[in-house]
Structure 1
C-alpha cells in the first residue's frame, strides 16, 4: 500500500526512519539531489486521505512502505541526474544492447558490490545512477589496471589515490579495496560536483581531470560559447564517458526496451566486514570461511599478496552467511601459525642472490613472490615477503604494514680489466683514477691497501661496462678488457 505525503510529512518519516539501524535495506530516499534535506516542521493533512493515481504512485513524493526486493528497482528510484540526449547515447545503447553476454558478465560481477555502493550513495544523498559508473570504468573488475596505471573498479591513478588516502605499498593497494575505493570515489565525485555544480561536468572531470575541464570551460567563456558538457571540446574518451553512463542508465531503467534481461540482485547486503587480529594466509582465511579462493579475492582484491597483514588490513569482507563460519573456525584453529609469510627489511643494498641466501629462499622463489624484475639490486630499506619461521611468533608491526615499500637499483655489470701501473703508482692512486675503493683494488690484486706498484706492473680492476668503455686511459696505460665469468676467465687484449 502507498500513501501520498506532503514534502513536510516526508521529513517526519525521515526522522522516524532514523530509529532503525543505519544502512538497513529499504530506508526511504527522500531527496533527488546532492543537497542535504532541510529540516521542516511536520504538517498533517486536515481532511481525509484520497486515493492516488498511477502517476502519483511512481513520483518521488511517495514513500514505499515495503522495501523493493530487487536492487535494480531501488537504483531506479534514486535516479536524479538530468538525462543526456545525443547521438552518442543512442550509439552506446546499441553497442551495449548488441552484447548481451557482456552485460550479463558485468552485472553478475557487480552483484557483490552494488548494494554497498547504493547504500553509500543514499547516505550521502547522491544520485544512484553513480552506482553504475564502475560499469564504465572497469566493468566492475576490482583487479582492473589500465595502461595509464589506474587501478581498481573505480580506476584511481596512483597520485589521486594517495590524495584520497588510498594506501599503496608492498602489502596492499587500497585502490582495489571495495570499501576504501568506494569511499574515495564518492568523496572525489562530491568534490567535483561542488566545484562545477553539474554532475555531467563532474563526471567529465573524474575522467579527464578537474584542471582540464576548468580550462575547457574558461576557454569557452572567453569565446562566448556554452559551458555545458556537450559544449566543451574534449578528448574522445571523455566525450563518450557520460554517454556511456547514460546508455547503461537507460538500459537499467527499461531493460525490456533493449531486449535485455538483468540478473536478479536482491536488495540486501552481499557481504559483511569481519575483524582479523592476526596475520593470516589468504588461502587459510578462505578455507576457514568456507569460501572459494576466487570469491574471497573478489571481495578482498587489495590483498594481492599471499598473506593479509592484520596491522594494515584489520578487516576482511566475507559473504554474509560465511562471516560467522570464519569467526568460529578462526577461534578453533589449532594447527599452528595463521601466517606462513612475514616481512623482512633489507639492511643494505643487496643482489637478489645475496638476499635469498639471507632469508633461506631460492633466488627464483624470492623473485617470484616479490615481483623483482631481472637485473635489479634490492635497495636498502626495501621490505620483502619471506617465509615465516617456526620460531617467529610476532606479526608484522604497524609501521611496516603501513609504510612498506620496495625499491630497486640497476645491477651494475662490470668487466675485469688490467692496467699498467705508472711510476710511483699505489693502490690508492689506481683507486682514485677509476673511481674505485682502495680496499677493492687491494683485494683484487691480493695486496695491502697501502701497497705500491712497480712501473709497468699489471694491476687488476673491475670496471662498470659503460665506464670501462668511456674512460680513456693515458698513453702510458695498456688495458686488457676481460669479461667477468665465474669459473673461467677469457682474456682479450687490446692495445691503445
Structure 2
C-alpha cells in the first residue's frame, strides 16, 4: 500500500520513477508543503522501524546495566555510550560536522593538492572574494557557515559557471529550483548569477533539505543528486545512515564522493601550507563592500553608474544577473548591488522609467552608436550608410574587433539617429509612422530578430 502511494505521488509530480534529481525538478509540479508531506509519508515506516529498534536496544542496555556483569563488561558499555550522540553543546544547524570515508577524503586531498593545485588555488582566490558575503548569509539563517564550501566545489565561485545540465551560477541552480526559492530567471535577468541573491536562495534550500533528512550528510547528498533520489535510497536500504547507504551502494558514485569532497576542500582551504599550497588573500574588491538595494523601478545600468559616479564596468561586475544594460521590474520589485557607500544615493535613483521619450544620439557634432549583440563593422557601416574604413578612422581602430556595449563614433556623413524608449501600447508600425521612417529600417538599425519589442526598450530611430 505504501509503495502504491509513493508511486502515485511520483506520477503526480510528472516523474517516470520514484525520484526526480535536482537537475530535473520542476517547481510548478509540487509546493513546499506537498513536498514535505510526500517525504514524510515515504520515510515514516523507516522512522517507526528505527524507533522500535532503538527501544529494543535501550531495553537490552537496561538489562545489562542491572545484571551482575564484570567490570570489563561495564567498561565496554561505557565506551559504547561515549560513541553515541554528540554533546548537547553541538548545534547541527549551525555546525557542519560530517561523517565520511577516510579513504575518499584522502583521495580528494591528494587530487586537489597534487593533481590539480593550480585549479584549486584559482578556486581559493574566487572563494576568498565571496567568503564573507556567503558566510554572513548562512549565519543570519542559523546555518553552518562552512556550507560556503559547497559553492566552492560546485562552481569555484564563478558567477557565470554553467553546467551541461543548464545549472547556472555559484550554487549551480537549475531554473526550476531557482524559481522555487524566489530567484528571477528570464531573458533580462538571471539572479542565479548574483552572489547576494543566489546565496539567500541556497540558504533556503539547505534549510529545507536539513529539515527533511535530519543530517548534513544526507542533505548534501540530496543537494547533489536530488531529494527524491535520496528518499528512494533510504526506502530501499531501510536506513537513514549515510555510511550504511554508501556501503550498500544505494546512492550514485558521484554523490558518494560528494561529502568527503566538501570536507577535503574545507581542510585544504583552512590549512593550505600543510598541503604545500600558498595561503591566498585576494585583493580587496568592490564585492566585499557592496550591498543589495531595492530600486523598485526599471534600471539602466549606464544611467545608474553615472548617478552613483561608479564605473559601468564595476556596476556590471556587481550585477552579473542583469544580462543586458537594461532591466525592467517584475511585480514592482528590482534589486541591484551597489557599493555600501552609495546605498543612500542608489535609493534616490528614479530608474529608467522617467527618461525622455526621444533623445539625440549625437553629443555636440559627434554621433554615437552602442554595439549590440551580433554587430560587426560591416553591418554597422551598412546601417549608417558609411564604410568600414571610415568607421575605423573615426574610432582609431586598427583591427575589426568590436564588443557588445562598445561606444562607436559615427562619421559625420553617416545617417543620423535618435533614441526612442518604447511605451505601453507601442508597436514597430506605430513608431515608424510617428518618425516618418519604415519598420524595415528600425528592425535593421536595431538588429532585431523579430517584431517583438517591450516597454522601456531603447530603439535607435534612423533619420534622413
Quickly name the TM-score band, shorter chain normalised.
0.5 to 0.7
Please give the alpha-carbon distance, in whole angstroms, between the structure 2 residues aligned to 1:61 and 1:262.
35
Q: What pairs up with 1:217-366 in 2 under 5 angstroms?
A: 217-221=234-238, 227-228=244-245, 231-264=248-281, 269-276=288-295, 279-310=298-329, 314-323=334-343, 358=439, 361-363=442-444, 365-366=446-447
Say if 1:118 and 1:131, in contact at 8 Å, map to a contact too: yes
- What is the match of residue 471 of structure 1? none
- Which position in structure 1 is the counterpart of 2:150? 133
Residues 308/348 of structure 1: CA separation in 2 closer, same or farther (3 Å cut): closer
Q: Report the CA distance shift for 1:197/1:288 in structure 2 as closer, same or farther (over 3 A).
A: same
- What residue number does 2:221 align with? 204
What is the Cα deviation at residue 303 of structure 1? 0.4
Unaligned runs of 5+ in 1: 1-59, 63-77, 351-355, 391-496
Contact 2:99 / 2:217 at 8 angstroms: preserved in 1? no
Q: 1:238 to 1:387 in 2, by over 3 A?
A: same
Further displaced range: 225-234 or 206-215: 225-234
Superposition pairs for residues 3-152 of structure 1, below 5 Å?
A: 79-98=95-114, 99-152=116-169
2:185 paired with 1:168:
yes
- Conserved? CA contact 1:217–1:227, under 8 Å: no
Task: Determine if contact 1:275/1:316 at 8 Å carries over to the other structure.
Answer: yes
Measured in 1, the distance between the counterparts of 2:343 and 2:440 equals 35
CA deviations over 1:218-271 (Å, ceiling 9, x no partner): 11229x996445654333332332222111111123222112233337899531
User: Is the 8 Å Cα contact of residues 201 and 228 (structure 1) preserved in structure 2?
Assistant: no
Structure label with greater radius of gyration: 1
What's the counterpart of residue 71 of structure 2?
none
Secondary structure, in 3 states, of the residue corresponding to 2:191? coil
Decide whether aligned partners of structure 1 residues 341 and 205 sit closer, same or farther in structure 2, where only a CA change above 3 A counts. Answer: farther
Please tell me whether the aligned partners of residues 189 and 202 of structure 1 are also in contact (alpha carbons under 8 angstroms): yes
Cα offset for 1:61?
A: 12
> In the TM superposition, what whole-angstrom CA distance separates every residue of 1:69-91 from its partner, at most 9, and x where no partner exists?
xxxxxxxxx75322534322222
| Alignment CA distance shift 1:357-1:196 (3 Å) | farther
Superposition deviation, residue 203 in structure 1:
0.9
The verdict on how the C-alpha distance between 1:138 and 1:280 changes in structure 2, with shifts beyond 3 A counting, is: same
Alpha-carbon contact 1:137-1:154 (below 8 Å) kept: yes
Structure 2 unpaired stretches of 5+: 1-86, 360-418, 430-436
* Cα deviations by residue, 1:281-334 (Å, 9 ceiling, x for unpaired): 223433444444444223212100221335665331123345467679x69x9x
C-alpha distance in structure 2 between counterparts of 1:245 and 1:287, whole Å: 42
Task: Tell me the C-alpha RMSD between the 2 structures.
Answer: 4.4
Report the TM-score when normalising by structure 2.
Answer: 0.54
Q: In structure 2, what is the equivalent of residue 189 of structure 1? A: 206
Looking at structure 1, the residues matched to 262 and 276 of structure 2 have their Cα atoms a distance apart, in angstroms, of 18
TM-score, scaled relative to structure 1 = 0.50
Q: Is the 8 A contact 1:280 1:308 kept in 2?
A: yes
Aligned mate of 2:458, from 387, 410, 413 = 387
CA distance in 2, matches of 1:121, 1:100: 28
Q: What residue number does 2:61 align with?
A: none
Partner Cα separation in structure 1 for residue 447 and residue 244 of structure 2 = 54
Q: Structure 1 pair 226/137, CA: closer, same or farther in 2 (3 Å)?
A: closer
Task: State the shift of 1:179 in Å.
Answer: 2.8
Flag the 1:215–1:100 CA change in 2: closer, same or farther, 3 A.
same
1:165 deviates by 2.4
- Distance across 2 between alignment mates of 1:221 and 1:136: 30
